[in-house]
Structure 1
């Protein structure tokens, strides 16, 4: 229903479904076979009935989207069907009045709702007038008026149902595409943050191990062991990130930042309370990712000697604010890279914001703010 058949099986199924309703044409066929008309009249009437049925099938098979403005041939076919119904009923009798019911159904199925709402009653009114003329006792045409109205408007309802189902399918596909896109973005952010930090640390330790050889093999071996540990932890983190279960914490990221900065020769000071009051799990995870990205940038790009991290709680604004600053070379003036862009998106999902600026001593400051889960309102 509502689609052009694409295979022979679909065409046969649709034809069988429509063919059930064509059984109501038994009255005109019986009238032709009853011997009450001359042979020439029978031939002409049979030809007219065949043209009527073909036109009806063409409308049902080919006119599948009645919300689109119909082509001129649709109006022409409906006008021809109406003329055939009137002509055959007026010349051959009341047995042919049933053709008006098919015209009403065709109007409901093939015309837009704004047109079919008056076309169906118009065809029904023509049925009533013609019936009053050809069926003087009036014992047949009242039984066709109600089916014509109900059949026509039922097709209008079915047509609207088909249109709604199409919209629902489109909406479902759109939602699936958006969900897949969001999942790809999540994986991209997680993998960038995880691997960027871990690979930077592995690179630093590899350089240290290379400088220690061959003079200090014991210390080089310790660095190699650390490389193995970081690699294994990175593998675990990537698996957890792909599974969607990883929830980083501020305490864990502070400890990881201390180790990474120590290997890079950067002194580290932390002012992060444990735990941060009124900070939800998702908000803490967003700040933990921000701390990881900031420390990775300090190690890879800043050339700093000192890094300071602090988390403050502003109850008036209802925000927890993470600040990471260094005394390195400062911002280059280039647009944000993938890491900061992904971090801004991650914070936005938690209802937070990200700002970056030059520090007072020429370095770089990253500030991430997320809303608290419980805010104490100051009394007036």
Structure 2
């Protein structure tokens, strides 16, 4: 939009071409020159802004634009001085900072010099100096903004790739630590049992029993590890909620993370998992069913008669329906929270629908990895 808005300055040259000011041949040649000029301008600002040209091509295109502007201005009249505004904008879009600034001033000076040596050009010149300078410097700033945005996206992609690689390495280390010793021991005992089986079946049976014991322990370790990997966390769910609400076009007020200081100390893993599931289900309901335009999420430490708790509130301004009866998702959340001595409340509020989930901040007696229904 910023690039195309400058095309409004072509009104003066087009009016000059369509008027009775020149011969037919002059109008035809002027029209061809204007088409070439506009095509080179658009190619440079659009293509170079997204994928830079080589410096030689940039310089060649700028020289071509400047030459066409000078030629058309000298042959067609002072109304064509406006083409120097496009040369200035192109310089701001294609050249790096200091070089662009010098070129913009030089192009504006050349425009002023040509205008002063032409009759009836004073009015055009005074109205074009500021747009030429402003357009060039503004386009230089936009170019830098676009470059920064591209670099930021590339940096984010690199960080995400590094994080994925680090996670893969962590998984590989954990699997090696969990299974390497156990599988080596199973292989060794299997070989011993095979050699003992013909002559000493009782010793072979002992080795088989050891193999079973080691296998069961390895299976238990793997299940515990997988349970830890699959357990949702509040920081992860908060980031996911922010992304999901933004993608759905819902204005969101989402905290950066859990409160730095919890009244009951560090949040237990079971409580964190229950609150994380609650947040995921609540955001899913907001996106799919509420039709809300705004959603506010808050995490607040509170002191109750049963001890310190962390309270999660999710409130939207939509029409998500009555708080009761519970669907499968909310029923599952209530069971998850009950397992850690937490509570779940849902009700209609002044603005729309409100979900309040509370979980104790201390350790609970719920068994690790217990599956208490789906949060879908």
Question: TM-score category by the smaller chain?
Answer: 0.5 to 0.7
Normalised by the length of structure 2, the TM-score is: 0.53
The yes-or-no answer on 1:58 pairing with 2:43 is yes
- Structure 1: segments with no counterpart, 5+ residues: 1-15, 247-380
Per-residue CA distance 1:227-254 (angstroms, 9 max, x = gap): 22321221232344456559xxxxxxxx
**Quick check: 1:151 aligned with 2:135?**
yes
Aligned to 2:7: 22
Report SS of the residue matched to 2:55.
Answer: coil
1-structure distance, mates of 2:214, 2:207: 10
**Match in the other structure for 2:63:** 79
The alignment's TM-score, normalised by the length of structure 1, stands at 0.52
CA deviation after TM superposition for structure 1 residue 119, in Å? 0.5
1:162 CA displacement: 2.2
Q: Paired residue for 1:70?
A: 55
Counterparts of 2:58 and 2:182 in 1: how far apart (Å)? 67
Matched pairs, number: 229
Please name the residue that 1:327 is paired with: none
> Which of 182, 192, 200 does residue 198 from structure 1 map onto?
182
**In the alignment, is residue 128 of structure 1 matched against residue 112 of structure 2?**
yes
Cα deviation 1:154-195 (Å, max 9, x = unaligned)? 221222222222222322232222222222222222222222
C-alpha separation in 2, matches of 1:34 and 1:237: 87
1:238–1:69 CA distance, 2 compared to 1 (3 A): same
Displacement, 1:50?
Answer: 1.9
Inter-CA distance 106–207: structure 2 relative to 1 (3 Å threshold): closer
Contact 2:78 2:120 in 1 (8 A): no
When structure 1 is superposed on structure 2, of 86-95 and 205-214 the one drifting more is: 205-214
What is the RMSD computed on CA atoms of the aligned residues?
Answer: 3.2
CA gap of 1:80–1:176, structure 2 versus 1, over 3 A, is same
Distance 1:200 1:62, change over 3 A: closer
| 1:102 Cα offset (Å) | 0.4
| 2:322 matched residue in structure 1 | none
Rate the CA distance shift 1:223–1:126 in 2: closer, same or farther, 3 A. Answer: same
Contact 1:101 1:144 in 2 (8 A): yes
Distance (Å, rounded) in 1 between the aligned partners of 2:45 and 2:103: 17
Q: Which runs of 5+ in 2 are unaligned?
A: 231-376
- In the aligned structure 2, how far is the partner of 1:46 from the partner of 1:132? 25
With over 3 angstroms needed to count, the CA separation of the structure-2 counterparts of 1:88 and 1:196, relative to structure 1, is closer
Displacement of 1:64 in angstroms is 4.3
Seen in structure 2, the aligned counterparts of structure 1 residues 243 and 110 have a Cα distance that, compared at 3 Å, is farther
Q: Residues 60 and 67 of structure 1: is their aligned pair in 2 closer, same or farther, counting only changes over 3 Å?
A: closer
Q: What secondary structure sits across from 1:160 in the alignment?
A: helix
Question: 1:97·1:141 contact (CA, 8 Å) conserved in 2?
Answer: yes
Matched, 1:102 2:86: yes
Whether the 8 Å contact between 1:67 and 1:112 is mirrored in structure 2 is no
TM-aligned CA distance change 1:182 to 1:76, over 3 Å: closer
- Matched residues in 1 for 2:51 and 2:189: separation? 69
Partner of residue 173 from structure 1, selected from 120, 138, 157? 157
Q: Report the alpha carbon displacement of residue 28 of structure 1 after superposing the two structures with TM.
A: 0.7
Contact kept, 8 Å, 2:78 with 2:121, in 1: the verdict is no
